[in-house]
Amino acid sequence: MSSLELSVVMPCLNEADTLAICIHKAQRALAEGGIAGEVIVADNGSTDGSQAIAEAAGARLVAVPERGYGAALAGGIAAARGSFVVMGDADDSYDFLEIPAFVTRLREGHDLVQGCRLPAGGGRIAQGAMPFLHQWLGNPVLTALVRWWFRAPIHDVYCGLRGFRREWLAGLGMRSRGMEFATEMIIRASLTGASIAEVPITLHPDGRLAHPPHLRTFRDGWRTLRFFLLCTPRWLFLVPGLALVLAGLVGFTLALPGWRWGRVAFDAHTLLYSSLGLICGYQSLLFAVFAKTVAVREGLLPPDPRLTRFHRIASLERSLLVGLAAIFGGTAVLAAVFLGWREAGFGHLDYATTMRRVIPAATATALGFTTVLAGFFSAILGVGGGEGQR
Burial of residue 205 (number of CB atoms within 10 Å: 0-12, 13-18, 19+)? middle
Rounded to 5 degrees, φ, ψ at 62 are -125, 115
Tell me what the pLDDT averaged over the chain comes to: 91
Task: Break the chain down into helix, strand, coil percent, rounded to 5.
Answer: 55, 10, 30
- pTM for the complete prediction? 0.80
Backbone angles phi, psi at 330, to 5 degrees: -65, -45
pLDDT score of 214: 63
Q: Helix 268-297 to helix 305-313 angle, to the nearest 10 degrees?
A: 120
Q: What is the mean pLDDT of residues 289-293?
A: 92
CB atoms inside a 10 Å sphere around CB 103: 22
Q: How sure is the predictor about 383, in pLDDT bands with cuts at 50, 70 and 90?
A: low
Q: What is the pLDDT of residue 224?
A: 86
Please report, for residues 6, 34, 55, 97, 344, the alpha-carbon distance to residue 28 in angstroms, rounded to integers and kept in the order given.
13, 10, 16, 7, 93
Provide the 8-state DSSP code for 161.
Answer: -
**pLDDT tens-digit profile of 321-371?**
999 999 999 999 999 989 988 888 888 877 778 888 999 999 999 999 999
Instruction: Give the range among 160-169, 278-287, 311-320 with minimum mean pLDDT.
Output: 311-320
d(CA 303, CA 305): 7
pLDDT of residue 213: 66
Provide the pLDDT for residue 57: 97
Residue 176 neighbours by CB under 8 Å, 6+ apart: 70, 184, 227
* CA dist., res. 157 & res. 134, Å (int): 12
Band of the pLDDT at 118, cuts 50, 70, 90? very high
Q: Is the confidence at residue 140, as pLDDT, over 90? A: yes
pLDDT of residue 349: 76
Q: Is the pLDDT of residue 390 over 60?
A: no
